[in-house]
Amino acid sequence: MLPALRFAAPTLAALSVTLFACGPSAPSDRGPGDGGVALSPGRDADEWRHYARDAGGTKYSPLTEIDTASVARLALAWTIRTGDFTPAMFEGVEHDGVEIPEDARAQGACASCHGASIRFETTPLMVDGQLYVSTPANRVLALDPATGEERWAFDPGVDLERSYSEDLISRGVSTWLDHDAGPDAPCRRRLYLATIDARLMALDGATGRLCGDFGDEGTVHLDRGVGLNGREADLGDYLVTSPPAVVNGVVVVGSAIGDNRRSDIESGVVRAYDARSGALRWSFDPIPRTDDHPAREGWSPESVAVTGAANVWSIISADPERDLVFLPTGSAAPDFYGGARPGRNDLANSVVALRASSGEFVWSFQVVHHDLWDYDVASQPVLIDLERDGGVVPAVVVGTKMGHLFVLHRETGEPLFDVEERPVPGSDVPGEQAWPTQPFPVAPPTLHETVLTPDSAFGVDDADRAFCRDWIASSRGNGIFTPPSLQGTIQWPGFAGGMNWDGMAWDPARQMLVVPVKRLAMFVQLHERTDFERAIAEPEEGFEYARQEGTPYGMSRMPLVSPKGIPCSPPPWSKLVGVDLRSGTLAWERPLGRVPAGLTPGMDEPGPDAWGSLTFGGPLATAGGVTFIAAGQDDRLRAFATATGAPLWEADLPAGGNAAPMTYRFEGRQYVVIAAGGRGGIGSPGDYVVAFALDAGG
């Protein structure tokens, strides 16, 4: 999450700084396809009912009309604009009929939103013959799947002039079919929208009107009762950016929290509400506030009262048949100093399995002990059926910012590939007690390098390379898990990943996991209080600053970049990787994206393919053997052969495709749809939804 103080950095890598969260319905007759409601197999194949198509996060479609041979005929079918880019937000340089100031062209910053970026990260749903899209301003649109024509629109009235600690983000909505309601009853099909200003709203999928029987006339206010020690949530710092999970009649929702303000920020409590009434069914705080909490042994008794976060800001997965939800938890507050929270900090930086009906703890697996690096579990856990030793094992795959893949038994949390606790560097900061070991999977192999040396520094010329080499040499950098320091520490992998919210796609036929991996090093430095006050009085360009109140140290951080804004870490700066989970081995990898010409000084031509680019945006895998992904800085959607990684097709987008694409079949035709609007300058800003189909002429 973003710290409270922010200063924009210029050029290529600076664009990445916005990297920086009633009784249950009986499940026996309700399958996993629609939040627990069984539907016909044919209709299930046609639709996209969850953020990742299924509740388990696979981003996989069984449709085959578009395959490795036919994908070359894919063409634009339709394009619409959501209306989130308005002249009221932007003034200055014209961009496709909308004026945008020069300094916001790269950042996508909203002039009336206190400099927040607009990040169009949504993945639409297609259900009941309607396409549902949420926008960064939390508006919801119902579109005709064949034409993109708007059928209805809902505006929750988010105050865009308020200052938020996150950018304007909505990664999507969730849906539930009230199987007990009559066919024509209002709100039989419900959409659940969680907003940047911390409201959970239920809409009628047919009309877009609020469902008055849910909560307070359609709304549950999530920012109540989450402050620690009697404090209310700070306005604009307690948010929701990801869609809730809907499983067996309950709606499970986490939160994004403005981190690094202080140690006792808001609680990371996860709550479940009745899908029909909005009544609270259960709540679960990953930090142990009671003596019988399963994480109690990993915390000091005095720390739990002064530590917030460990929140679930990314996408929650669910297994309706087993009555399980899987929570990807973040770090405890603050991110980069843990002296006030000694111990492993159990259940933070973990995947936590709970009973969906009751919130009862089942198991957990921690990917980082005592996090000091902002290594949240940012990727949605992916539920897979793993073929192994002649049988099938129910598994969950956890991707991490470190580039680690942990493959666990879905029912117990036990690793299905060996995991080792290995010694890691200690802290030299007074008051800090870094955990002496960290978990490393033996297989699959780590997808990100773990050591960045002066000799590996990159530069487009000798001067840039010398600058990067000197910066690395003068900083602390003993490989992965080197703690932040007063000297300044090179963080590699950086706190953006590895893997982030864009997650992974799973092809069950090929037992192939397709993973986008980011490779941008960061620099993090702690400052004693007097030094920190001097630093923020005269901030250096490119740095972010955070006070970390309640600790002895403030913090600054920025991407490790040259004076030209080119990453000091060696390319590719992102790659797409295929992992064979039958064997736990790397099947293929290739650079992802391309750096456009003119994006930073000294780059008059596009960067070489081998460089890749900075990326944010998820993959989509299909039964046709094709993986789709955009994600890069060059505003293009690409298709690759899932089995080999071979490039098959690509097309221009009107803005950055920094979201995960989806696919559906409507009236006998398969479409691929992606939100194109950029995120913090990694892609061009915009408010487009773009659809492709075979032999289309849109």
**And the tokens for 65?**
């009309």
Contact 55, 612 (CB under 8 A): no
In angstroms, the CA 244 to CA 253 distance is: 5
The neighbour count for residue 48, using CB atoms within 10 Å, is: 26
At position 56, the amino acid (one-letter code) is: G
Q: Which residue among the candidates 204, 285, 346, 374 is catalytic per the annotation?
A: 374
Question: 3-state DSSP helix/strand/coil percent for the chain, to nearest 5?
Answer: 10, 35, 60
Backbone angles phi, psi at 419, to 5 degrees: -125, 135
In angstroms, the CA 225 to CA 233 distance is: 8
In angstroms, the CA 632 to CA 16 distance is: 11
In angstroms, the CA 64 to CA 71 distance is: 10
Closest-CA residue to 383 (of 408, 354, 358): 408
Burial class of residue 105 in the structure, from the number of CB atoms within 10 Å of its CB (0-12 exposed, 13-18 middle, 19+ buried): middle
In angstroms, the CA 648 to CA 662 distance is: 18
* Angstrom distances, CA of residue 257 to CA of 51, 310, 410, 414, 545: 21, 9, 28, 30, 16
In angstroms, the CA 329 to CA 132 distance is: 27
Closest-CA residue to 560 (of 461, 453, 462, 403): 453
Backbone angles phi, psi at 691, to 5 degrees: -120, 140
Annotated catalytic, 29? no
- Look up tokens 């009671």; give the residue: 290
**And the tokens for 242?**
């990801």
Question: What DSSP line would sit under 641-675, residue for residue?
Answer: ETTT--EEEEEE-SS---S--EEEEETTEEEEEEE
Catalytic residue ranges: 374
